[in-house]
Amino acid sequence: MLLQISWRNIWRNKTRSFVVICSIIIGLWAGIFILAFAWGLYQNNIDDTVYRQLSHIQIHNPLFTKENESKYTISNSDEILQKLQSNKNVASVSSRVITLGMISSPTNASGIKIFGINPLVEKTQIVLNENVRQGAYFETGKENEILIGEKLAKKLKIKLKSKVVLTFTNIDNEIITAAFRVGGLYRSKNISLDEVNVYVQKNELVNLLGLQDSESNEIAILLKNEEQLDSMKIFSSSLVPKGKVEDWKTLSPELGMVIESFNLYTYIITGIILLALTFGIVNTMLMSVLERFRELGMLMAIGLNKSKIFVMILLETLYLTLMGCPIGLLIGWLSVNFFEKHGINISMFSEGLAAYGFSSIIYTSLDNQKYMIVAIMYFITALLSAIYPAYKALQLNPSEAIRKI
Amino acid sequence: MVKTIIDAHNISKIYDKKMVPIMALQDVHLHIEEGEFVALVGPSGSGKSTLLNMIGGLDDPTNGSVIVDGVEITKLRENKLIDFRLRNIGFVFQSFNLIPVLTAKENIGFVLQLQNVSKKEREKRVMELLHQVGLEDKENSKPGELSGGQQQRVAVARALASKPKIILADEPTANLDTKAAENLLDIMAKLNKEEKITFLFSTHDARVIKKARRVITLVDGKVDSDVQQIPD
Q: Using DSSP, state whether A126 is helix, strand or coil.
A: coil
Can you give the pLDDT at residue A368? 84
Would you state the pLDDT for residue B107? 92
CA distance B75 to B56: 13
Among A295, A303, A399, select the one facing B99 at the smallest CB separation: A295
The CATH number of the domain where B70 resides is what? 3.40.50.300
CA distance A6 to A74: 73
Bridge partners, residue A117, by sequence: A201
| pLDDT mean across residues, chain A | 88
Helix/strand number for chain A, H first, E second: 17, 12
Decide if pLDDT at B28 tops 50: yes
Q: Do B83 and A302 touch (CB under 8 A)?
A: no
At A352 the pLDDT is 64
The Cβ-side half-sphere exposure at A75, using a 13 Å CA radius, reads: 2
Distance CA A109, CA A87 (A): 43
**Strands ordered across the beta sheet of B166-170:** B89-92, B166-170, B198-203, B37-41, B214-219, B222-228
**Distance separating alpha carbons of residues A182 and A263, to the nearest angstrom:** 40
- Calpha distance A358→A42 (Å, rounded): 8
The reply to whether residue A1 touches residue B113, judged by beta carbons under 8 angstroms, is yes
Q: What is the ipTM of this complex?
A: 0.85
DSSP A52: I
Q: How far is B94 from chain A (nearest CA, A)?
A: 9
Determine the Cα–Cα distance for residues B164 and B68; give it in Å rounded to an integer: 12
Buried b (16+ CB within 10 A) or exposed e, A145-157: bbbbbbbbbebbe
**What's the number of domains chain B is made of?**
1
Answer whether B59 sits within 8 Å of A399, measured CB to CB. Answer: yes
Which residues have a Cβ under 8 Å from the Cβ of A311 and sit 6 or more positions away? Answer: A2
Residue A329 to residue A371: CA distance in whole angstroms: 7
Alpha helical stretches, state H, chain B: 48-55, 78-88, 104-114, 119-132, 148-161, 178-195, 206-211
Residue among B28, B100, B86, B33 at smallest CA distance from A303: B86
Confidence band (pLDDT; 50, 70, 90) for B89? very high
pLDDT at A353: 65
Mean pLDDT computed over A51-73: 91
Query: Does the pLDDT at position B232 exceed 80?
Result: no
Chain segment A251-302, per-residue pLDDT in tens: 888 777 777 777 788 788 888 888 888 888 888 888 888 888 888 888 888 8
With an 8 Å Cβ cutoff, is B86 touching chain A?
Answer: yes
Closest CA in chain A for residue B102: A5
Q: What is the mean pLDDT of chain B?
A: 89
Q: Is B134 exposed, middle or buried (0-12, 13-18, 19+ CB in 10 A)?
A: middle
**Between residues A189 and B150, the one the model is more confident about:** B150
pLDDT band at A218 (very low <50, low <70, confident <90, very high): very high
Backbone dihedral region for residue A190 (phi beyond 0: left; psi -120 to 50: alpha; all else: beta): beta
Residues A269-300 as b or e (16 or more Cβ within 10 Å = b) = ebeebbeebbebbbebbbebbeebbbbbbbbb
The pLDDT tens digits for A163-210 are 999 999 999 999 999 999 999 999 887 778 889 999 999 999 999 999
- Among A201-215, A248-262, A366-380, B96-110, top mean pLDDT goes to A201-215
| Contact at CB, A5 and B97, closer than 8 angstroms | no
Give the residue from chain A lying closest to B59, CA to CA.
Answer: A399
A1 Cβ under 8 Å from any chain B Cβ? yes
Q: State which amino acid sits at residue A357.
A: G
Chain A residues touching B99 at Cβ < 8 A: 5, 295, 298-299
**Is there a contact between A358 and A343 (Cβ–Cβ < 8 Å)?**
no
64-83 of B, contacting A, C-beta below 8 A: 78-79, 82-83
β-pair partners for B31: B7
| Shortest Cα–Cα distance, A358 to chain B (Å) | 56
Put simply, the answer to whether A399 touches B83 (Cβ < 8 Å) is no
The answer to whether the CB of B96 falls within 8 A of the CB of B107 is no
Mutate to test the interface with A, among B77, B92, B97, B107 (most CBs of A within 10 A): B97
Out of A305, A399, A403, the one facing B82 most closely (by C-beta) is A305
- pLDDT band with cut points at 50, 70 and 90 for residue A357: low
Which of A91-100, A202-211, A339-348 bottoms out in mean pLDDT, i.e. has the lowest? A339-348
The C-alpha R_g of chain B, in whole angstroms, comes to 17
Q: Is B219 left (phi over 0), alpha (psi -120 to 50) or beta?
A: beta
Q: What backbone phi and psi angles, to 5 degrees, belong to B60?
A: -95, 140
Domain ranges of chain A: 2-49+255-403, 62-242
**A356: confidence class by pLDDT, cuts 50, 70, 90:** low
Predicted confidence (pLDDT) at residue A96 exceeds the cutoff of 60:
yes
User: Which residue in B58, B60, B126 has the most chain A C-beta atoms within 10 A of its own C-beta, making it the best mutation to test that interface?
Assistant: B58
* Nearest chain A Cα distance for residue B211, angstroms: 26
Q: Which positions in chain A touch B100 (Cβ < 8 Å)?
A: 12, 295
Of A4, A294, A303, the CB nearest to B82: A303
Q: Is the pLDDT of residue A216 over 70?
A: yes
Q: pLDDT digit string (tens) for A20-60? A: 899 889 988 998 898 898 888 888 778 888 888 889 999 99
Chain B residues closer than 8 Å to A1 by CB: 110, 113-114
Q: Binning pLDDT at 50, 70 and 90, where does residue A405 land?
A: very low
A368 within 8 A of A68, measured Cβ to Cβ = no
Nearest-angstrom CA–CA distance, B198 and A381: 49
Distant-in-sequence, close-in-space partners of A283: CB < 8 Å, separation ≥ 6: none
Residue B15 has pLDDT above 90, yes or no: no
For the ranges A119-123, A152-156, A398-402, the lowest mean pLDDT is seen at A398-402
Cα B157 from chain centroid (whole Å): 12
Give contacts of B202 with chain A, Cβ < 8 Å.
none
Residues 6+ apart with CB under 8 A from A365: A36, A39, A40, A43, A336, A340
Question: If contacts are CB pairs under 8 Å, which of residues 10-39 in chain A contact chain B?
Answer: 11-12
Tell me the CA distances in angstroms from A289 to A271, A313, B88, B110, one per residue in order: 26, 8, 28, 20
A183 sits in which H/E element: strand A175-186
More confident residue, A110 or B211: A110
Contacts of residue A255, Cβ cutoff 8 Å, sequence gap at least 6? A45, A46, A49, A248, A249, A357
Return the pLDDT at A366. Answer: 86
Provide CB contacts within 8 A for A363, sequence distance 6+: A40, A43, A44, A339, A340, A341, A343, A344
